[in-house]
């Protein structure tokens, strides 16, 4: 039975989901780092919020761990790079609190526009300062949206409903999507120069850290108001303080800070700054939604192999998983076949081409490609899997490409993997037969139909009389029993392939004798 640890507080309904799905679950919150490291090795999955820190050290202590699920959007508390290198899927729940966070940003914008917090304090103090709190309307103002993903697009929708003009800066925003949202796609310089209000909705990365730097703030129009409900660190807080003190920035509303919990900050001294303690996702609905989603996602992955909202692996829906699983097995086996042959020769892998034909052509190819790379790199890289394989291929400078073909072939579906190493290119192709069983159908362009077996022996030889007899006798004399025997050749008298499955491993001494046989050009043992 698979086991999941919940190390941060989750809804009882989320715990019930795990149990109903047949997942053994332990709830242990408030663990110190050493306590977490001491027990994490027992678990296949880890469900967290923002309190638990999933560091490299935690991951190194978790040989069984397959998935980390974050109930929420941000994964600043997870070492995603270390998780990827160890083959651990990292998931978040980007949609569960999107509306809640967007609504908080809009609320902050209204509060800034009408100075609501200051007016509340003044009125409760017995003052009646109508003339002091002169606000501005949102109608007809320009909103500069930095980030137009899940949350940003909801803010854009609300702002358009408020009759604001929306300028959106997001490198991934297409013109078609901008038109659909009713916003104008713009570069950052334009947003800074024209916006009356600026809201941020981007993750914190090396590229976005201090996105609103001192230089960027200087480019904004005088009187701009800034809202950040995304991530602390997107705004240079020292530069923002100076801009607020000088009056260049009329006001700021911050739900997030560079250091959290934020118990002190020069910004707290300023009346034109509204601060909340990271409340963007703090609604009853959002907390329930993300907890339920992370429980479903982790369960689906561990029990059915579906991958949803993963940051380091292609998504596979619950509906796709049963259909893709046999193709993923085929791709992994084909990759393993090519990888074992390549690793037996001198030279590193330079390029990989994965081709899909027939019924395989319209499928979701990202997980299939990841499976193929995992099989290919497995013989030479310890612990590689579908999560880490694409990253390892990129890090090793391997060029990976894909192609689909609508042409009608000999098989209902076909996957072909072509591997180019230093001075050598080889391909291997396979299909699914019967109830989805993987089958080899082609090696180096030569037709060879064979099932994958735990122990196999691959031989290339010249197609001349006498080879099969000598080869068979060599194995027989060594007590190696042949289970299946498959032959193929390019043409009469030219290169031929012999692929056999055996009842056990072929000893190295026997393999050496096979290589010494007349007409043999290559002999390699394979295991699957």
Q: Are residues 33 and 139 in the same domain?
A: no
| SS3 sequence of 148-170 | CCHHHHHHHHHHHHCCCEEEEEC
Handedness of CA 522, 523, 524, 528 (dihedral sign): positive
Q: Which of 395-400's residues contact partners 24+ apart within 8 Å by CB, and which partners?
A: 396/348, 396/349, 397/350, 398/349, 398/350, 398/351, 398/352, 399/350, 399/351, 399/352, 400/351, 400/352, 400/354, 400/369, 400/373
Q: Are residues 448 and 463 in the same domain?
A: no
What is the per-residue pLDDT across 377-424, written as a single tens digit (0 to 9) for each? 888 776 677 887 888 888 778 899 999 988 777 888 999 999 998 768
The neighbour count for residue 136, using CB atoms within 10 Å, is: 16
Q: Are residues 428 and 460 in the same domain?
A: no
Determine the 3-state secondary structure of 137 from DSSP: coil
The catalytic residue among 21, 104, 231, 332 is 231
Tokens (6 digits) for 46: 């880890």
Is 240 a member of any domain?
A: yes
Residue ranges making up the domain that contains 85: 3-95+285-304
Would you state the pLDDT for residue 490? 80
Judge contact between 1 and 24, C-beta under 8 A: yes
Q: Are residues 248 and 262 in the same domain?
A: yes
Is 342 a member of any domain?
A: yes
The catalytic residue among 137, 260, 271, 516 is 260
Q: Per-residue confidence at 343, pLDDT binned at 50, 70, 90? A: low
Q: Are residues 119 and 236 in the same domain?
A: yes
Q: Are residues 270 and 140 in the same domain?
A: yes
Q: Based on the structure, what is the number of domains in the chain? A: 4
Helices 116-124 and 98-114, axial angle in degrees (round to 10): 60
Is 310 a member of any domain?
A: no
**Does 396 qualify as catalytic in the annotation?**
no
Q: Per-residue confidence at 344, pLDDT binned at 50, 70, 90? A: very low
Q: Are residues 121 and 39 in the same domain?
A: no
Is 130 a member of any domain?
A: yes
**Where among 452, 487, 518 does a domain terminate?**
452
What CATH number does the domain containing 56 carry? Answer: 3.40.50.720
Is 49 a member of any domain?
A: yes
Q: Are residues 388 and 436 in the same domain?
A: yes
What is the per-residue pLDDT across 29-71, written as a single tens digit (0 to 9) for each? 999 999 999 999 999 999 999 899 999 999 999 999 999 999 9
Task: Give this prediction's pTM.
Answer: 0.62
Is 108 a member of any domain?
A: yes
Handedness of CA 491, 493, 495, 501 (dihedral sign): positive
What is the per-residue pLDDT across 149-187, written as a single tens digit (0 to 9) for each? 889 999 999 999 999 999 999 988 888 889 999 999 999
What CATH number does the domain containing 399 carry? Answer: 3.30.1330.90
The catalytic residue among 86, 104, 278, 416 is 278
**Does 103 qualify as catalytic in the annotation?**
no
**Does 231 qualify as catalytic in the annotation?**
yes
Is 265 a member of any domain?
A: yes
pLDDT over 80 at 493, yes or no: no
Q: Are residues 322 and 401 in the same domain?
A: yes
Is 170 a member of any domain?
A: yes
């Amino acid at each position: 039975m698979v086991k999941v640890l919940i190390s941060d507080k989750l809804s009882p309904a989320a715990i019930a989901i795990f149990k109903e799905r047949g997942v053994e679950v332990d709830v242990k919150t408030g663990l110190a780092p050493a306590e977490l490291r001491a027990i994490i090795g027992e678990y296949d999955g880890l469900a967290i919020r923002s309190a638990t820190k999933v560091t490299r050290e935690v991951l190194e202590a978790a040989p069984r761990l397959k998935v980390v699920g974050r109930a929420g959007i941000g994964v600043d508390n997870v070492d995603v790079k270390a998780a990827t290198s160890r083959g651990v899927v990292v998931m978040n729940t980007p949609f569960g609190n999107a509306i809640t966070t967007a609504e908080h940003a809009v609320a902050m914008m209204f509060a800034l526009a009408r100075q609501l917090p200051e007016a509340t304090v003044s009125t409760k103090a017995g003052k009646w300062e109508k003339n002091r709190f002169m606000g501005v309307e949102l109608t007809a103002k320009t909103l500069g949206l930095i980030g137009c993903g899940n949350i940003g697009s909801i803010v854009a929708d609300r702002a358009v409903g408020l009759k604001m003009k929306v300028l959106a800066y997001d490198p991934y925003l297409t013109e078609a999507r901008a038109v659909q949202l009713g916003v104008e796609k713009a570069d950052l310089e334009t947003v800074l120069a024209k916006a009356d209000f600026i809201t941020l909705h981007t993750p914190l990365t090396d590229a976005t850290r201090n996105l609103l730097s001192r230089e960027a703030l200087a480019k904004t129009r005088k009187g701009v108001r800034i809202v950040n409900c995304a991530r602390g660190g997107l705004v240079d807080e020292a530069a923002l303080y100076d801009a607020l003190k000088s009056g260049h920035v009329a006001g700021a509303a911050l739900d997030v800070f560079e250091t959290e919990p934020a118990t002190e900050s020069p910004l707290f001294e300023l009346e034109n700054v509204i601060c909340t303690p990271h409340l963007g996702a703090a609604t009853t609905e959002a907390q329930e939604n993300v907890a339920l989603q992370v429980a479903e996602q982790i369960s689906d992955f561990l029990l059915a192999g579906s991958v949803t909202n993963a940051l380091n692996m292609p998504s596979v829906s619950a509906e796709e998983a049963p259909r893709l699983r046999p193709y993923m097995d085929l791709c992994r086996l084909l990759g393993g076949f090519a990888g074992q042959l390549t690793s037996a020769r001198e030279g590193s892998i330079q390029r990989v081409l994965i081709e899909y034909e027939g019924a395989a052509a319209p499928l979701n190819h990202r997980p299939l490609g990841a499976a193929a790379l995992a099989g290919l790199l497995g013989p030479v890289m310890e612990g590689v899997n579908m999560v880490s394989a694409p990253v390892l291929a990129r890090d090793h400078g391997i060029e990976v490409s894909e192609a689909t073909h609508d042409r009608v072939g000999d098989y209902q579906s076909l996957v072909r993997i072509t591997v180019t190493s230093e001075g050598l290119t080889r391909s291997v192709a396979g299909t699914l037969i019967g109830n989805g069983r993987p089958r080899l159908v082609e090696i180096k362009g030569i037709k060879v139909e064979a099932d994958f077996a735990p122990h196999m022996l691959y031989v290339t030889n010249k197609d001349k009389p006498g080879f099969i007899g000598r080869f068979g006798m060599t194995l027989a004399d060594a007590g190696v029993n042949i289970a299946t025997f498959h032959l193929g050749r390019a043409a009469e008298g030219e290169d031929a392939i012999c692929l056999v499955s055996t009842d056990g491993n072929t000893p190295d001494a026997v393999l050496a004798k096979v290589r010494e046989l007349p007409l043999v050009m290559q002999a390699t043992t394979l295991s699957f």
